[in-house]
Amino acid sequence: MNTVVVGLFTTLIIGDFFPTLNIHSTLIIWAIIFSIILSIMVTKFSRKKNNVEKKKGSTVIYSSLYLFILLLILTGLGGQSTVGIGLENPIIWFLIILPIMTAIYKIIYKRIALDKQKV
């Protein structure tokens, strides 16, 4: 399910950077909303209980790095965002760096807490 959301998000960003491709953003936005709702329902009613906290940290890091690399590639290909999503925008840097730093802090904090419990 996450792959569908990432694919739709990527298509939406590409449509923003290259508007001449005529990607219908309304259809993509509704597909993303439907995918998120379906993902929440599947997660809520899933019988498997796995270590969600451990996966959450790595997912935040990977998604932030994906956004950064995607913006680098699209800018390198000569695209220009029509709504201001780009590496020259300081808010985008904040949205990339802050989640990574928070996830790394949580991972380190949990390892320290686990080491203290073992002693």
Helix axes 52-76, 2-17, angle to 10 degrees: 20
Domain boundaries, the chain: 1-47, 50-119
Select from 71, 60, 62 the least CA-distant residue to 93.
Answer: 71
- pLDDT string in tens for the chain (119-residue length): 566 777 778 888 888 888 887 777 677 777 777 777 877 777 676 655 555 555 666 777 888 888 889 899 999 999 898 888 888 889 988 988 998 888 888 888 888 887 777 76
- The Cα-based distances of 81 to 18, 38, 85 in angstroms read 8, 29, 6
In whole angstroms, what is the distance from residue 49 CA to residue 91 CA? 35
Helix intervals (H) in the chain: 2-17, 25-45, 52-76, 90-118
pTM, 2 dp: 0.69
